[in-house]
Amino acid sequence: MSEAIASVTTDREEDYLKAIYILAHGQATPLAPGLLVERLGVSSAAVSRMLQRLDRSGLVRHVAYQGVTLTEAGRRHALRVLRHHRLVEYFLVERLGYDWAYVDESVDRLEHAIDEELAGRLEAMLGHPPACPHGDPIPSAALEMPQIVERPLNTLAVGQRAEISRVMGDAATLTYLREEQLVPGTSLTVTERSARGGLLTIERDGERLLLPPMIAAAIFVRRPTSTEAADSRAHHGAVQSVPL
């Protein structure tokens, strides 16, 4: 079937397309179907059947023993679902006070229920937010995904200063990050790296925090603005600021 007329008919198909986009984003090789088993909590047989269906619809290209990739039509469908998901998530958390650690279950149901007209009105009402509360970028109405230059916090060297761009993890991890104010937009500096155990010490607003590897791996950072970098050098004095 032509990509131009390929269509999604079920919420479950959209769930698969969204999962494929997220899992394969940034990699050049086809996605291993086994990763969908783990993310979606389904059997290998169920994944195989769905990929065959999506392949027939022209939304993915699935080659046995090689993996799966989204077609252009499939990619656009995935971005549309992500756009709706992240706009609804922003609305529920920032306007209705939902807990950002537990909001996904509600959003997963609602993302399929809105159309692009409602999404556009919701986006305008919210002031065109660039990202969801967790820092994941919101695709535009033209289904273009903003690009963020970022890296995992645990790859920074001692002395490097950065700003949190995005966080991820289960409910317990997200709850911890919120309680410690390790949220998108927060500036921090790596002050110490343990030789054993992978522990990372950071300084945030004059307070030092010791982060275990699992927490550090859940945080992604980007280069701070020039003003923040200058403030950091003035504040930290002897701590050398190393560019990202």
User: 14-59 pLDDT, tens per residue?
Assistant: 999 999 999 998 788 999 999 999 999 999 999 999 999 999 999 9
CA angle, 222 then 22 then 3, to 5°? 125
Asked whether the CA dihedral 159, 160, 161, 166 is positive or negative, the reply is negative
Range list for CATH 1.10.10.10 in the chain: 11-74
The structure tokens listed for 217 are 């791996």
pLDDT at 242 over 60: no
49, containing H or E segment: helix 44-56
**If DSSP codes are grouped into helix, strand and coil, which group holds residue 129?**
coil
Tokens of 228: 């923040």
Write down the pLDDT at residue 28: 83
Closest CA to 164 of 148, 180, 146, 185: 185
Q: Which among 35, 43, 3 has a CA at the least distance from the CA of 19?
A: 35
Q: What is the pTM of this model?
A: 0.85
- Count of CB atoms situated within 10 Å of the CB of 29: 9
Instruction: From residue 204, give the alpha-carbon distance in Å to each of 50, 190, 220, 236.
Output: 46, 9, 15, 11
Question: What mean pLDDT do residues 150-177 have?
Answer: 94
CATH 2.30.30.90 region(s) of the chain? 151-236
For residue 3, is pLDDT > 60?
Answer: no
Q: Which pLDDT score is estimated for 241? A: 31
- The torsion angles phi and psi of 88, rounded to 5 degrees, stand at -65, -40
pLDDT higher than 80, residue 131 = yes
Burial class (CB in 10 A: 0-12, 13-18, 19+), 117: exposed
Residue 235 banded pLDDT, cuts 50, 70, 90: very low
Closest C-alpha among 143, 15, 136, 2 to residue 75: 143
Q: So what's the pLDDT on residue 126?
A: 97
Q: Please, what CATH class does the domain formed by 11-74 belong to?
A: mainly alpha
Give the containing element (helix H, strand E) for 166.
strand 161-167
User: With respect to CATH, is domain 151-236 assigned 2.60.40.10?
Assistant: no
CA distance 56 to 58: 5
Structure tokens of 189?
Answer: 């500096």
Specify the pLDDT at position 225: 54
Q: Any alpha helices (H) in 68-139, and if so which ranges?
A: 72-90, 104-110, 116-125
How do strand 161-167 and strand 219-222 relate by DSSP bridges? antiparallel
pLDDT > 90: what percent of the chain?
Answer: 78
Q: For position 7, what pLDDT does the model report?
A: 60
